[in-house]
Amino acid sequence: MEQRTNGMTRREMLKAAGAAAAAVPLAGADVLAAVAATAAATHFFTPAQLAMVDELSEIIIPADDHSGGARAAKVAAYIDYRLAESVDDEPRTKWTEGLARIDALSREKKGAPFMQLSADDRVAIVTAMAAEESSPTTVEGKFFGELKDRTSDAYYSSKIGLHDDLEYKGNVLQEEYSGTDVSNS
Amino acid sequence: MRLLHTQQAHEPQVDLLKTYDAVIVGSGAAGGMAAYALTERGLDVLLIEAGKKIDTTQVLHSMEWPYDHPRRGDMPSKFHALSRNEYNIRQPPYANGLGKYEKVFSYVQGWGGSDYSTSIVVNEKEHPYTGTNYAWVRARCLGGKTNIWGRLALRLSDYDFKGKSHDGYGMDWPISYADIEPYYDKVDLLLGISGVKENLPQLPDGKFQRPYKLNAAEVQLRTGLKKMGRTATPYRAGVTTDGLVHNKYRSKCYGRGACSRHVGGCDIHAAFDSPTGLIYPARDTGKLTIRTNATAHEVQVDPATGKAKGVGFVDTVTGKSYSVKGRTVILAASTLESARLMLLSKSSSHPNGIGNSTSGLVGHHFCEHLMGPHVTGLVKDLVGKPHTLDDGRPGGFYVPRFRNLTDKQPDFIRGYGFEGEGGMSMGPGNGAGEAGFGKAWKQHVRDYAGAYISMGGFGEVLPRYENSVSIDPVVKDKWGIPVLRFDYNFGENEKKMAEDMAVAGREMFEAAGIEVVSVGKNLLTQGWSIHELGTARMGSDPKTSVLNQYQQSHDVKNLFVVDGSSHVNASCQNPTWTIMALAWRSCEHLADALGRGEL
């Protein structure tokens, strides 16, 4: 099995990086600019941030006996894409600041940045963030809501979320409609 | 499987020198029906539509999975949908100050699958309006809002047509249910409607095709309501569930369910839309000419007779001006756009706008359906049960009006109905709102996903003279046409009714053994129901009404207004089916009168 880094396999990361590089020799400055623009529009997180979001999303929705989790559903890459293409800076700022706050919180509570903590300590950090979920006031408390919303949206609209986890049965052609006919009741 | 035949016939071009029997402005439910009914009678008809022709068979992607779309069905970020909060904290024109977005849309584009409907709804930047808060949803394209409508196809009853006789408020319609019943039947048979017969005097049954079914949560509600003498009937949908042998453009419904997941629309046209249901069949008679990208700005008048002689429009793309001529002019541009056109059509014969001389009521008695109060409940027996296919339908259920029928409420008159649905849909539903994270939370979401049921009210807003639209003296749209200014608010009756909705919603869920999870009490912004009505009401007295019972102007006998403008009160039932039944009836009268040389 291929070793995972940053939630993407190493091969996927190389592929993503290589896609831009491969296009360069074909033309001049215009293509370079276009590639740069495309790259800017599809990725926002640094590799370190992407790895952190991947880990956080998997803590929110982990793999279990029933189905894969947020990591398998590539939730972090989807969040990255949506943030990158946003015309608003505000959601990006929210994530940059939120992730920085998690690292600060990790240092305060556990003495090291989030990704250097043990699995149990990472969960403990997220547990602390979630403590005031119903009416958050702190930066980390508010960011927990954002993290959970985006993770949930991305996961439950993914193949793994819809089919494996929720076992959604619809979006099919039916001759006879499902349910109970109440014409005579 | 062959679902559709989409090959289209040669289309004639508009002839600017010709005088058509009728020029119709607008191609939604009303304009489409006018085109159908008049060409069926052999009249030579020109239909003009401000928007473009859209191939919804291609754009709607009804069965595309969210994960097969780069943004899971959402619009690109450069497009902005107005949020509920923006309607509260901003004033029209709502696009002002939102320059960073390429396009600004109404709130419906904030729903799932909005990327499929961006070509259907209007860009608020090009279509401003002013005045009081109003969430005005518009679709400028062939077929208008029927391309994305909610499909609930209900009849009105004499509780609505004779409301004043029942409770003393407002004005009775100049027709009764018996006058319109044959046309409801004709609409049912022509377009297809799905439903269960309930024998309710306030919600007459139709010529139904096979009904949709209820899922377990909804059956529980139906059983509980029956004990209260109330009804939860399967969604009465303007959808052909058995197919239509006389219409080659429309497939029967295969219960795919995307119509309730996306902003709307049906790419196999099982759900009624005006192009495939009415306009293409009308075109196939050889009697219909369609001019799209034609933004009407004036009904033109023969100064010698004061009668309408045609319509002035600008080409939506080039901005060039044109005039087309008709023996009759039929406005079907929507309740608000038809009123705007009448008010814009000032001439020496009609200095207050065409059709507005005797009564001065064009734009007044503007009414609609209030929305907001809703209830969500949990059916505990369903928690942890295997998920069933619950959402392959255009909607769940409808609870018809039960207030002020045989009873008399102390605080408000008229009534409301509820629309709702229960069971599993394409997503986690309310379960994802639970606090927490991790394995336990994930298990909770899965266990609770199909166990919720919710419903929201649609209530009659009274037709009051002071609720009105007029022409803004300053602001113009992209084409230089003066825009509408709103002066519209909810009154005490609406506020009391909304309070009762929240209470009654809770009571009904509790009576059905459904655990109430949340009750919403707040009214949504005016306009949210997209059921605007009443700006040119019908009546028998030219001093107190704009149109007669055939939607014919009292003042200008060859001018007809066949859309929701003509409705005397909003009732609480969704208006599309009534709009089409009335338009059909009026157009038969028009054809007869034209044949007799009376127009």
pLDDT digit string, tens, across residues A88-147: 999 999 999 999 999 999 999 999 999 999 999 999 999 999 999 999 999 999 999 999
Q: Are residues A50 and A38 in the same domain?
A: no
Does A134 lie at the interface with B, CB-CB under 8 angstroms? yes
Q: Are residues A96 and A157 in the same domain?
A: yes
Q: Are residues A66 and A139 in the same domain?
A: yes
Domain for residue A184, yes or no?
no
- Give the one of A61, A152, A159 whose C-beta lies nearest to B67's C-beta: A159
Q: Are residues A14 and A68 in the same domain?
A: no
Whether residue B23 is predicted with pLDDT greater than 90 in this model: the reply is yes
What is the predicted pLDDT for the residue at A41? 62
Q: Which residues of A touch B435 (CB under 8 A)?
A: 130, 133-134
Summarize the confidence of residues B103-125 as an average pLDDT.
96
Give the β-pairing of B397-399 and B19-25: unpaired
Q: Are residues B173 and B240 in the same domain?
A: no
Q: Which residues of A touch B428 (CB under 8 A)?
A: 152, 156, 166
Q: Are residues A93 and A154 in the same domain?
A: yes
Cα-Cα-Cα-Cα torsion B4, B7, B13, B14, nearest 10 degrees, comes to -10
- Give the one of B222, B234, B388 whose C-beta lies nearest to A169's C-beta: B388
pTM of the model: 0.93
Best probe of the A interface among B4, B60, B67, by most A CBs < 10 A, is: B67
Query: Would you call A172 and B389 a contact, using CB atoms and an 8 Å cutoff?
Result: yes
Does A55 lie at the interface with B, CB-CB under 8 angstroms? no
DSSP per-residue letters across chain A: -PPEETTEEHHHHHHHHHHHHHHGGGSSHHHHHHHHHHHHHH--S-HHHHHHHHHHHHHHS---SSS--TTTTTHHHHHHHHHHH-S-SHHHHHHHHHHHHHHHHHHHHHSS-GGGS-HHHHHHHHHHHGGGTTS--SHHHHHHHHHHHHHHHHHHTSHIIIIIIS----SS--SSPSSB--TT-
What is the predicted pLDDT for the residue at B260? 83
Whether residue A174 is predicted with pLDDT greater than 70 in this model: the reply is yes
Domain for residue A118, yes or no?
yes
Q: Are residues B483 and B496 in the same domain?
A: no
Q: Are residues B267 and B399 in the same domain?
A: yes
Best CA proximity match to B156, nearest among B136, B183, B133, B137: B183
From B394, which residue of chain A is nearest by alpha-carbon distance? A177
Q: For B173-200, how does the pLDDT look when each residue is reduced to its tens digit (9 = 90+)?
A: 999 999 999 999 999 999 999 999 999 9
- Give the one of A157, A178, A182 whose C-beta lies nearest to B388's C-beta: A178
What is the predicted pLDDT for the residue at B1? 44
Confidence of residue A42 (pLDDT cuts 50, 70, 90): confident
- Give the one of A134, A173, A179 whose C-beta lies nearest to B214's C-beta: A179
Does A40 lie at the interface with B, CB-CB under 8 angstroms? no
Whether residue A152 is predicted with pLDDT greater than 50 in this model: the reply is yes
Bridge partners of B329?
B23, B559
Question: CATH code at B399?
Answer: 3.30.410
What is the predicted pLDDT for the residue at A26? 35
Q: Are residues A16 and A54 in the same domain?
A: no
Query: Would you call B100 and A148 a contact, using CB atoms and an 8 Å cutoff?
Result: no
From A145, which residue of chain B is nearest by alpha-carbon distance? B435
Find out whether A15 and A7 touch, Cβ atoms under 8 Å.
no
Q: Are residues B225 and B99 in the same domain?
A: no
Question: % helix / strand / coil in chain B, to the nearest 5?
Answer: 25, 20, 55
Q: Are residues B480 and B538 in the same domain?
A: yes
Please state, in angstroms and rounded to a whole number, the distance separating the CA atoms of residues B97 and B83: 15
Q: Are residues B225 and B182 in the same domain?
A: no
Query: Would you call A175 and B254 a contact, using CB atoms and an 8 Å cutoff?
Result: yes
Q: Which residues of B touch A148 (CB under 8 A)?
A: 437
What is the predicted pLDDT for the residue at B259? 86
Number of domains in chain B: 3
Query: Would you call B442 and A61 a contact, using CB atoms and an 8 Å cutoff?
Result: yes
What is the predicted pLDDT for the residue at B92? 98
Mean pLDDT of chain B: 96
Q: Are residues B46 and B145 in the same domain?
A: yes
Find out whether B525 and B84 touch, Cβ atoms under 8 Å.
yes
- The Cβ of residue B239 has, within 10 Å, a number of other Cβ atoms equal to 28
Q: Are residues A118 and A33 in the same domain?
A: no
Q: Are residues A52 and A38 in the same domain?
A: no
Q: What φ, ψ does residue B87 adopt, rounded to 5°?
A: -70, -25
Domain for residue B8, yes or no?
no
Range of the domain at A32: 1-42
Whether residue A30 is predicted with pLDDT greater than 70 in this model: the reply is no
Domain for residue B301, yes or no?
yes
From A83, which residue of chain B is nearest by alpha-carbon distance? B77
Q: Are residues A5 and A63 in the same domain?
A: no
Does A81 lie at the interface with B, CB-CB under 8 angstroms? yes
What is the predicted pLDDT for the residue at B3? 55
Domain for residue B9, yes or no?
no
- Give the one of B211, B389, B437 whose C-beta lies nearest to A178's C-beta: B389
- Give the one of A62, A130, A166 whose C-beta lies nearest to B436's C-beta: A130
- Give the one of A157, A174, A180 whose C-beta lies nearest to B72's C-beta: A157
Q: Compute and round to an integer the Cα radius of gyration of chain A.
A: 20
Q: Are residues B470 and B583 in the same domain?
A: yes
Ranges A99-103, B28-32, B54-58, B458-462: which has the least confidence: B54-58
Q: Which residues of B touch A165 (CB under 8 A)?
A: 442, 446
Summarize the confidence of residues B365-373 as an average pLDDT.
98
Whether residue B274 is predicted with pLDDT greater than 80 in this model: the reply is yes
Q: Are residues B548 and B479 in the same domain?
A: yes
What is the predicted pLDDT for the residue at A86? 94
Domain for residue B67, yes or no?
yes
Q: Are residues A18 and A49 in the same domain?
A: no
B439 vs A33 pLDDT, higher one: B439
Range of the domain at B456: 197-271+369-460+490-525
Q: Which residues of A touch B422 (CB under 8 A)?
A: none
Q: Are residues A118 and A141 in the same domain?
A: yes
Q: Are residues B104 and B156 in the same domain?
A: no
Domain for residue A121, yes or no?
yes
Q: Which residues of B touch A182 (CB under 8 A)?
A: 196, 211, 213-214, 219, 222, 233-234
Best CA proximity match to B458, nearest among B553, B366, B573: B573
Q: Are residues A74 and A95 in the same domain?
A: yes
- CB contacts < 8 A (A, B): 148
What is the predicted pLDDT for the residue at B4? 56
Q: Are residues B351 and B320 in the same domain?
A: yes
Query: Would you call A167 and B390 a contact, using CB atoms and an 8 Å cutoff?
Result: no
What is the predicted pLDDT for the residue at A36? 45
Query: Would you call B65 and A159 a contact, using CB atoms and an 8 Å cutoff?
Result: yes
Summarize the confidence of residues B44-55 as an average pLDDT.
97
Number of domains in chain A: 2
